[in-house]
Amino acid sequence: MKVSLIELQKLVSSHFLGLGLSSEHAAQVAEVILEAEAEGNAGHGLSRIAQYTAQLKAGGLKAKPKMRLERTKPGVTILRADGAPGPVAGLRAVRELSDLAKEQGSATVAVRNAGHSGVLSAYVGRLARQGLVSLAFANTPPAIAPGPVLGTNPIALGAPAEPEPIIIDTSVSVVARGKIINASKRGEPIPEGWALDKEGRPTTDAKAALEGSLVPIGGGKGLALAVLVEILAGALAGDILSPDLPLPWAPAEQAAKPGLLLVAFDPAAFGGYAARASQLVAALEAAGGRIPGARRAALRQQARLGGISINETLQAELGKLGLRLQGGNT
C-alpha cells in the first residue's frame, strides 16, 4: 500500500494529539518519524509509533513535559526535557542551538531526560539548511559486542553544500538494531556479519541477534567510536550511560532516556567555507564518490511525489494502534 506523506502527517499527528500531546508537539513527532521513513530508515520510522505510544500511555514519556533551558556557560546550554518524546526535545534543542551558534560562532546544547530521539539526521539536516555545520551524538541501550555494554551510539554531521547539504548519520554497529527488530517482527533472516548470538557466535537469526549483540564496524575501531560517543553523549551530555539504559523492549514505563549532544558552528566565523565545501563536493564527484546526503534527498523527493509504501505487517501493527491507512492517496 502507498500513502501520501501529507495524509500520513495528518494521521500520525492526529494519533499523538489523541495521546495528549499539543498540536505542535504531535506534528513534530510525526515529522521526524516520517522523515526517517521517507529516507529509507524504516527502523526509526513508522515502526517506532508503537513504542512511543506504549511509553506515553504507561508514563515512561510525558505528553505535556515542562522543558527547561539552563545556560551553564556562554556557549553551553542544557535542555532538561522532563520526559519529553525525543523528537520534541531534539527540535527544541535545534532552535536554541541555531540562535546561539549564529550569535557566538559556535555553541553546544545537551539534551537530558528525553526519549528516543529518532534519526540524528533530522537535527543536523535542519541546522545545515540554516547554514550551520553541526555534529550530533547520542548514546543508546547496550547492543554491540563485546558484552553488550555499549550501544550502537550514532554520530551525525550536517554541513551546508550545493545542491544539497552533506549529511552523515551512522551508528557504530554494522547495522542499526531497528533493522534487526523489523526483521524479527517479519520472521525474516538477517545477513551474515550483522550480529552474534548470546554465546558470541555469528547468527542470521534476528531473534537470536536481539538476545546477543551487534557487530561493531571495523572491529576495535567501531568499539573505540562507541566509547567516544559514550563520553560525549553519555558522560558529558546525558544522565545515564549505555549499560544502564533500558532496552527497547523493556516495560514501557521504563522508557530509555539517553543523552543527546548537539554542537554547531557558523561557517561565517571561519571564512571561506563555501568555496572549500564546493571544492570537496567537486573532488568527490570527479572521483565517482557518493556525496553523503544525496541519496536521502532523492528518497525524500520520491516520497513527496509518490508516497510511502507500507507493508502488510506494518499496516496491521498500525491498525492495532487505531491508525487506519487509506492507500492510493499519492
Q: What band does 326 get if pLDDT is binned at 50, 70 and 90?
A: confident
| Weakest-pLDDT range from 11-15, 81-85, 184-188 | 184-188
Q: What is the mean pLDDT of residues 238-260?
A: 95
Q: What is the pLDDT of residue 313?
A: 86
CA angle 326, 299, 29 (to 5 degrees): 60
Q: What is the pLDDT of residue 329?
A: 44
Q: What is the pLDDT of residue 101?
A: 98
Q: What is the pLDDT of residue 328?
A: 53
pLDDT at 2 over 50: yes
pLDDT at 265 over 80: yes
Q: What is the pLDDT of residue 61?
A: 98
pLDDT at 185 over 90: no
pLDDT at 73 over 60: yes
Mean pLDDT of all residues in the chain?
95
Q: What is the pLDDT of residues 111-157, one digit of tens each?
A: 999 999 999 999 999 999 999 999 999 999 999 999 899 999 999 99
pLDDT at 178 over 90: no
- Catalytic-labelled residue, pool 15, 25, 44, 116: 116
Kindly state the percentage of the chain with pLDDT values over 70: 99
Q: What is the pLDDT of residues 16-63, one digit of tens each?
A: 999 999 999 999 999 999 999 999 988 899 999 999 999 999 999 999
Whole-prediction pTM: 0.93
Is 15 tagged catalytic? no
Q: What is the mean pLDDT of residues 68-81?
A: 97
Q: Give the separation between CA 290 and CA 308, rounded to whole angstroms.
A: 24
pLDDT at 102 over 70: yes
Q: What band does 327 get if pLDDT is binned at 50, 70 and 90?
A: low
